[in-house]
């Protein structure tokens, strides 16, 4: 049977997003703390290598649009910044427990705003909800949870941002970095 137009379009598109990855040095402290703070029934822990803060979600993007967005991202000139990870929350509807910041640094807001505007202008649907910077720690967390009163307040340096592909294979989601750009 011949593939439908939809199947042809989908096969040449990739599910992409711009994000800051959690630096290697913070991955183990965060997952050790998470193991103490949460029980297995609270939700499914996100793999250490997948921990990231999304700046702009692009959805399924054609190769042509991906090339245009990559070029625009490469033109962004911004200094680095640090994010204090001192906030924690639970969104029961999507079933997400997240780590975030009480005060988002201006650099983070500017970078996300720039990438989200470029994405919108390129035709990628952007949620009308305000940007809420967060690192998803647990998924499938739909039941009520008593959250720990505080976090250790790790300081996360952001020295680069990246374009990722979300790849679903063998029943798992993996985030494949495609390109990085320095913040300096």
The catalytic site residues sit at 52, 134
Q: Compute the distance between CA of residue 45 and CA of residue 39 in angstroms, rounded to an integer.
A: 10
Closest distance of CB 128 from ligand 2AM, Å: 11
Q: Does 18 bind ligand 2AM (CB under 6 A)?
A: no
Q: Does 130 bind ligand 2AM (CB under 6 A)?
A: no
For residue 143, give the DSSP letter: S
Q: What is 90-113 written as a DSSP string?
A: EETTTTEEEEE-SS--HHHHHHHH
Exactly one of 18, 21, 22, 57 binds ligand 2AM (CB under 6 A); that residue is 57
Exactly one of 21, 118, 136, 162 binds ligand 2AM (CB under 6 A); that residue is 136
Helix ranges, 76-165 (H): 106-121
- Classify residue 73 by burial, with Cβ atoms within 10 Å: 0-12, 13-18, 19+: buried
Closest distance of CB 166 from ligand 2AM, Å: 5
Q: Which residues in 66-85 contact ligand 2AM (CB under 6 A)?
A: none
Sites of contact with ligand 2AM (CB under 6 A): 17, 54, 57, 96, 127, 136, 166
């Amino acid at each position: 049977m011949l593939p439908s137009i939809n199947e042809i379009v989908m096969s040449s598109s990739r599910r992409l997003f711009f994000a800051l990855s959690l630096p290697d040095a913070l991955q183990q402290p965060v997952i050790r703390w998470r193991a103490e703070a949460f029980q297995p029934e609270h939700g499914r822990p996100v793999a250490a290598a997948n921990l990231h803060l999304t700046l702009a979600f692009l959805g399924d993007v054609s190769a042509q649009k991906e090339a245009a967005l990559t070029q625009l991202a490469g033109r962004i000139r911004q200094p680095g910044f640090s994010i204090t990870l001192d906030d924690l929350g639970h969104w029961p509807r999507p079933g997400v427990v997240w780590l975030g910041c009480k005060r988002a640094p201006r650099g983070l807001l500017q970078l996300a705003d720039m990438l989200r505007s470029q994405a919108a202008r390129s035709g990628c649907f952007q949620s009308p909800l305000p940007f809420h910077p967060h690192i998803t720690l647990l998924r499938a967390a739909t039941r009520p949870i008593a959250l720990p009163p505080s976090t250790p307040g790790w300081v996360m340096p952001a020295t680069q941002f990246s374009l990722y592909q979300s790849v679903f294979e063998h029943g798992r989601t993996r985030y494949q970095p495609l390109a990085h750009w320095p913040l300096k």
